[in-house]
Amino acid sequence: MQDTGTFRRASISTADFPEGQRLQMWREIYGRGITNVDIDPIGDAPFRASVTFDLLPNVSIAGGTRSPAHYSVTHDQASRFKDILVISTLRSGSASATQFGKELISGVGSASVIAPQAPVTSTMLTEGSFVTLALSLPALAKLAPHYTKAFGRSIRHDNQALRLLTQYVGIVQGGEPLTDAATAKSVSDHLMDLTALALGTLGDHAELARLRGAAAARLTVIKSDILRALSNNELSTELIAALHGISPRYVRKLFEQDGSSFSDFVLTQRLSRAHDMLTDRRCGHLTIIQISHENGFGDLSYFNRTFRRKFGGTPTDVREAARLRQQD
């Protein structure tokens, strides 16, 4: 896997192909051209699949949906990927994966660790979704020297590092493509650290992974959860901590290490979203107090005061200025 230092996103779907050629083209383009696997559908229903790839330094993410089918990698095919370790997490549906004669999947949310250079068969038994990481083995081995202990077994759905890894991957997939090479490398490092922890790395390697990758990923996921809860005027460190199974003190510490605070981040995001709503004509039917409440402000005077301090004008001033610009 080449470390390009860049981030790229690409998608492929059977819906893009002519209806009568979807299976044939999926086998050729996805099966032989991209993943080097053999594909055999199960049942007589029309074959459907779609995958989005996010390519980072040392890590490739593939997430998508599939109808029932067998995906098989022969010994000859597997030999071409000697420097890649694959971890695949089942997001929905029912699936099976076997390698070395052992079952690698233990239900939704679990992950299978697929060893390089060995045949494997993965089967979607029903229509379902998945996310798969292909990681540079030389880079990962530096963080998890005993990675081979994970071969032939499943990582359970309640593994905390795996759950955090899955959440973090979801944020990467749902965000805009990264254009800055340094940021892409940082995200890749976080993914590698979380993977090492999910594989069970120990000692100094585990400590490094926790301090660097797990903390950064945890803060990213927390911020994402905060953005979804801005309208809740009872949003607090206690609420977020309970959601993540950590202490309020640790939540505050994560923000302090990031050079901020929980309350400052929440206030900034609330004010920014209120500003966006005030300048969006689609929100023109909402009153100032409605926008205030929609963004978690229970006190209108406090909203007006903090808004003016940040933007140099009252909410009414900002809305009127936006209206005048839109009329020009």
pLDDT category, 1, cuts 50, 70, 90?
very low
Three-state DSSP at 60 gives: strand
What is the helix, strand, coil percentage profile of the chain, to 5?
Answer: 50, 20, 30
Residue 154 pLDDT exceeds 60: yes
Cα 162 to chain center, whole Å? 12
Does the predicted TM-score (pTM) go above 0.85?
Answer: no
pLDDT category, 207, cuts 50, 70, 90?
confident
Residue in the structure block whose two tokens are 């699936």: 95
Gyration radius from the chain CA atoms: 23
What is the spatial distance between Cα 266 and Cα 209, in angstroms, rounded to a whole number?
A: 27
What is the spatial distance between Cα 216 and Cα 259, in angstroms, rounded to a whole number?
A: 13
Phi, psi torsion values for 61, nearest 5 degrees: -110, 130
- What the block records as the tokens of 112 is 């299978």
What is the spatial distance between Cα 94 and Cα 107, in angstroms, rounded to a whole number?
A: 7
Residues 6+ apart with CB under 8 A from 56: 7, 178, 184, 185, 187, 188, 191
pLDDT category, 135, cuts 50, 70, 90?
very high
Beta-carbon count within 10 A of 233 CB: 14
Residue 188's pLDDT is: 92
Residue 3 pLDDT exceeds 70: no
30-82 pLDDT, tens per residue? 999 999 999 999 999 999 999 999 999 999 999 999 999 999 999 888 888 88
When pLDDT is averaged across residues 147-153 and rounded to a whole number, the result is 90
Residue 157 pLDDT exceeds 90: yes
Residue 78's pLDDT is: 85
13-32 pLDDT, tens per residue? 999 999 999 999 999 999 99
224-282 pLDDT, tens per residue? 999 999 999 999 999 999 998 899 999 999 999 899 999 999 999 999 999 999 999 99
Q: Sign of torsion, CA 42 162 63 3?
A: negative
What is the spatial distance between Cα 71 and Cα 9, in angstroms, rounded to a whole number?
A: 23
Helix (H) or strand (E) holding 73: strand 69-73
When pLDDT is averaged across residues 185-212 and rounded to a whole number, the result is 86
Residues 6+ apart with CB under 8 A from 202: 146
Residue 159 pLDDT exceeds 80: yes
Helix (H) or strand (E) holding 89: strand 84-92
Mutual angle of helices 215-228 and 248-257, in 10-degree steps = 110
Residue 4 pLDDT exceeds 90: no
Residue 228's pLDDT is: 92
State how far the alpha carbon of 153 is from the alpha carbons of 98, 99, 103, 276, in Å.
9, 9, 7, 48
Three-state DSSP at 247 gives: coil
111-128 pLDDT, tens per residue? 999 999 899 999 999 999
Mutual angle of helices 300-311 and 262-278, in 10-degree steps = 90
Residue 238's pLDDT is: 96
Taken in order of first residue, the domains within the chain and their CATH numbers are 8-228 (2.60.120.10), 265-327 (1.10.10.60)
Residue 225's pLDDT is: 94
Residue 269's pLDDT is: 97
Residue 6's pLDDT is: 54
**Whole-number average pLDDT of the chain:** 91
* Nearest Cα to Cα of residue 241 among 251, 231, 254: 251
